[in-house]
Amino acid sequence: MKASRTGASAPPPHDRHPPKRHSPKRILFTLLAGVAGLAVCGVLVVVFALAMAYPNLPALDTLTDYRPKMPLRIFTADNVLIGEFGEERRTLVHFKDIPDVMKKAVLAIEDTGFYEHGGVDYLGIVRAAVHNATGGARQGASTITQQVARNFFLSSEQTLKRKAYEALLAWKIEKNLTKDQILEVYMNQIYLGQRAFGFSSAAQIYFGKDLKDITVAEAAMLAGLPKAPSAYNPVVNPKRARMRQQYILQRMHDLRYITDAQYAEAKDEQLKIKTDSTAFGVHAEYVAEMARQLVYEQFKEDTYTRGLNVFTTITKADQDAAYLALRRGVMDYERRHTYRGPEKYIEIPKTKADADEAIEAELAEHPDSDDIVAAIVLQAAPSGVTAVLASGEEIRIQGSGLSFAQGWLSPKAAETRRIRRGAVIRVSQDGGSSWNITQLPEVESAFVAVDPSDGQIRALVGGFDYNRSKFNHVTQAWRQPGSSFKPFIYSASLERGFSPATLINDAPISFDAGSTGGQAWEPKNYDAKYEGPMTMRRGLTKSKNMISIRILNKIGARYGQEYATRFGFDADKNPPYLTLALGAGATTPLQMSGAYSVFANGGYRISPYLISKVTDADGKVLSEARPERAGVEANRVIDERNAYLMDSMLRDVARYGTAAKAQATLKRPDIGGKTGTTNDSMDAWFAGYTPHLVGIAWMGYDQPRNLGNKETGGGLALPIWIGFMQKALKGVPVEERTVPGGLVQYGDEYYYAENPPGTGVQSLDVGTPSPQGEQKTRDAVRNELF
């Protein structure tokens, strides 16, 4: 059935009208409104979170009352830095004292808008974000204020929470500190490598100079360190450091911080970087360590953090003189003895790159000892040696530079000791530019000088090289003093009726075991020669063992032991046996310096001391030395007359005796002293003085052994003493001692007034000659001596 056209069913309503369509603009508006709404909500949430977090931010006390960890610093008496101890090496410097060029170099690379922004550089953040999003090398946008916030209060983790806190802290810092204060804190706190915190410390460590004295080029080099102290460290990575420096100089020039002329000069300047950042201007490592230990005993853990400044009694000039004299004396000894051969051998690779790497790695294991440098032999022949240094410089050694090791250049030399390709040797330069083969010494030495008026230590060298051995031979080496102990036995005898004119027999003598504390003893003179009766003065001048032994045997070993304690010697280290007459006990160079000071100052006991004062970081004196002084009668330990007579005899030792080279070289009549050589030449000493300076020199092996059959205190220790005194006494006037009351003169000799000739001990083991014959003998020996 067909449906009629009129009866057809009507279409549904929605088909009756066309659908409505939203315009693109309306859709976009809706989306933007939604995003904006979400953004506003997000901002409100963030603002609310920040508002809640702001009151909980840490207090800024560590910034507003900035007190950084300050290291312990040790200075000479004339204010030269010789040591620094602490985790952080820092020198606090105020804003006004930071040179303008250093501030500009830092701002140029770290935060050019520092004085404009409020703590956060929003444009910088956007710029860095765009740069990072486009695949460029990752950039940061932290301002100096943000870096201060991070360094003091936050970790270095890269999270949104930490970034938000960093921004909040930056705002808070900006509200509480001025821009100059913020920059001052930053430039004192930032880590710059080599344990250096702050630019003042870095200037000293990298360039060895005060911050105020740095050049534009040096400032740019230092300014490159905060970003990556290891990567841009000029000691470790000189090429990368220079590239960074050049970029900073360009930035400073572009920003008009420096002129065209300054830029041109700075970019071509060759910087002198201190490769040894721990080195100081004076070789006083043993002094610095002694001072550190003494201060730690008083201040404990505060020693390394509160910025203590320790002022020692040494002076730079005296310390330099002592160091050079000791090194020269030791190396002179080495040259007189056998070359021991190379320290090691390596196989040098054939390719240059591999060879350079192998040589560099090996030489790093053989650090230099000041001017004694390690080198690896590239070619060797009896006529010459070519070697390479750690710096890569090739050197040629020939002629006299080979003489010390000539025997080990022969093809016939033992393969295990011959100088050949790959051998690690030691070289040094003489006064000119020529090189010499040498070796590191096995022998050790020590030197100390004190002022006998109060005991202040003027110079102290505890060994040949502190970096090789930190054992301080001045304070820690208990060694036999040998003949240098004899004057104390002689001094004791003056109190028992002897005089310098007492005749004593220089003849062989023997003792049973009971007298020596051990076994039977038949002592000998050093040269095994005996001269018969001589005066006590002559016996000391010629260091005759038989004379000293007879004196001690007469006065008693127990008395000699007790008497020596007046000078500071330990009784338990000097047993009361006759061997004490030859210095068979034990002492240290420091103890010996105090003992000889008694002769130098007229009879007063003083105690050597090293630290004059300790101050805090603000200069407040925390402790100060109060030394015992000569001239105070409470400190007198021997009669003034005794000191005068001993000084008179010890001056003869330095004029005519075993130390005659002293006065011959220095041309001074006010020098006294005594050489010392122990049994089997295991220790060599010289103890000498003037009225205002005592010096003690020692040489020997750590494991005692013979120094050489012909080696003596006069040949080993005395030259060190002379080398020091030549500089220390320059310009110091000669001082003659006045004769004290209570002495009477008969002929050329002085006597105690109560013991004139004919009384007291007139002779010892020389029979019983008549007074006339005794005087004749004295005249004869005096004529022979003088």
Instruction: In whole angstroms, give the CA distance from residue 397 to residue 454.
Output: 50
Helix runs in 284-350, H state only: 285-299, 316-336
DSSP 84-144: EESSSEE----GGGS-HHHHHHHHHHH-TTTTTSSS--HHHHHHHHHHHHTTPSP-----H
DSSP state of 750: E
* For residue 276, pLDDT beyond 80: no
Q: Name, in order, each residue with C-beta under 8 angstroms of 541's C-beta and a sequence gap of 6 or more.
A: 649, 652, 653, 656, 657, 658, 785
pLDDT at 6: 43
Angle ∠(199,204,207) on CA atoms, nearest 5: 105
DSSP state of 309: E
pLDDT at 524: 93
* For residue 409, pLDDT beyond 80: yes
DSSP 51-63: HHHGGGSPP-HHH
pLDDT average, residue stretch 108-123: 88
pLDDT average, residue stretch 761-783: 53
Q: What percent of the chain has pLDDT over 70?
A: 86
pLDDT band at 213 (very low <50, low <70, confident <90, very high): very high
* For residue 377, pLDDT beyond 50: yes
* For residue 592, pLDDT beyond 80: yes
- Per mean pLDDT, which range of 61-65, 101-105, 197-201, 385-389 is the poorest? 61-65
pLDDT average, residue stretch 60-74: 77
Cα separation of the two ends of the chain: 169
pLDDT in tens, 164-193: 778 888 888 899 989 999 999 999 989 998
In the annotation, is 393 catalytic?
no
pLDDT at 753: 92
pLDDT average, residue stretch 146-171: 75
* For residue 38, pLDDT beyond 90: no
pLDDT band at 46 (very low <50, low <70, confident <90, very high): very low
pLDDT at 195: 82
Six-digit token string for 596:
């000889």
Q: What are phi and psi of 422, to 5 degrees?
A: 95, -5
pLDDT average, residue stretch 727-738: 96
What does pLDDT average to over the chain? 88
In the annotation, is 483 catalytic?
yes
pLDDT at 778: 44
Residue entry with tokens 């949430």:
45
Active-site position among 200, 277, 445, 483: 483
pLDDT average, residue stretch 550-573: 97
Q: What percent of the chain has pLDDT over 90?
A: 68
Higher pLDDT: 19 or 123? It is 123
Q: Name, in order, each residue with C-beta under 8 angstroms of 489's C-beta and a sequence gap of 6 or more.
A: 548, 551, 552, 555, 560, 564, 580, 581
pLDDT in tens, 642-694: 999 999 999 999 999 999 999 999 999 999 999 999 988 999 999 999 999 99
Instruction: In whole angstroms, give the CA distance from residue 502 to residue 490.
Output: 11
Q: Name, in order, each residue with C-beta under 8 angstroms of 210's C-beta and a sequence gap of 6 or more.
A: 200, 203, 204
Measured between alpha carbons, how far is residue 712 from residues 63, 161, 679 in Å?
63, 75, 10
Residue 350 near residue 356 (C-beta atoms within 8 A) = no
pLDDT at 127: 62
pLDDT at 2: 44
pLDDT band at 44 (very low <50, low <70, confident <90, very high): low
Instruction: In whole angstroms, give the CA distance from residue 458 to residue 446.
Output: 14
pLDDT average, residue stretch 215-233: 93
* For residue 340, pLDDT beyond 60: yes
pLDDT at 784: 38
Higher pLDDT: 134 or 528? It is 528
Full-model pTM: 0.81
* For residue 546, pLDDT beyond 80: yes
Instruction: In whole angstroms, give the CA distance from residue 759 to residue 752.
Output: 10
- Per mean pLDDT, which range of 9-23, 198-212, 229-243 is the poorest? 9-23
DSSP state of 521: B
* For residue 128, pLDDT beyond 70: no
pLDDT at 163: 73
pLDDT band at 780 (very low <50, low <70, confident <90, very high): very low
pLDDT at 274: 84
Bridge partners for 81 per DSSP: 75
The β-bridge relationship of strands 763-764 and 503-506 is parallel
Instruction: In whole angstroms, give the CA distance from residue 491 to residue 649.
Output: 10
pLDDT band at 55 (very low <50, low <70, confident <90, very high): low
pLDDT at 149: 85
* For residue 487, pLDDT beyond 70: yes
Active-site position among 110, 174, 218, 444: 110
pLDDT band at 130 (very low <50, low <70, confident <90, very high): low
pLDDT average, residue stretch 48-57: 51
pLDDT at 134: 57
Residue 63 near residue 188 (C-beta atoms within 8 A) = no
pLDDT average, residue stretch 299-317: 93
pLDDT in tens, 419-454: 999 999 999 997 768 999 999 999 999 999 999 999
pLDDT average, residue stretch 267-272: 93
Instruction: In whole angstroms, give the CA distance from residue 731 to residue 40.
Output: 85
- Per mean pLDDT, which range of 86-90, 452-456, 519-523, 714-718 is the poorest? 86-90
pLDDT band at 139 (very low <50, low <70, confident <90, very high): very low
Supply the Cα-derived Rg of the chain in whole angstroms.
Answer: 39
Instruction: In whole angstroms, give the CA distance from residue 252 to residue 109.
Output: 8
pLDDT average, residue stretch 51-76: 71
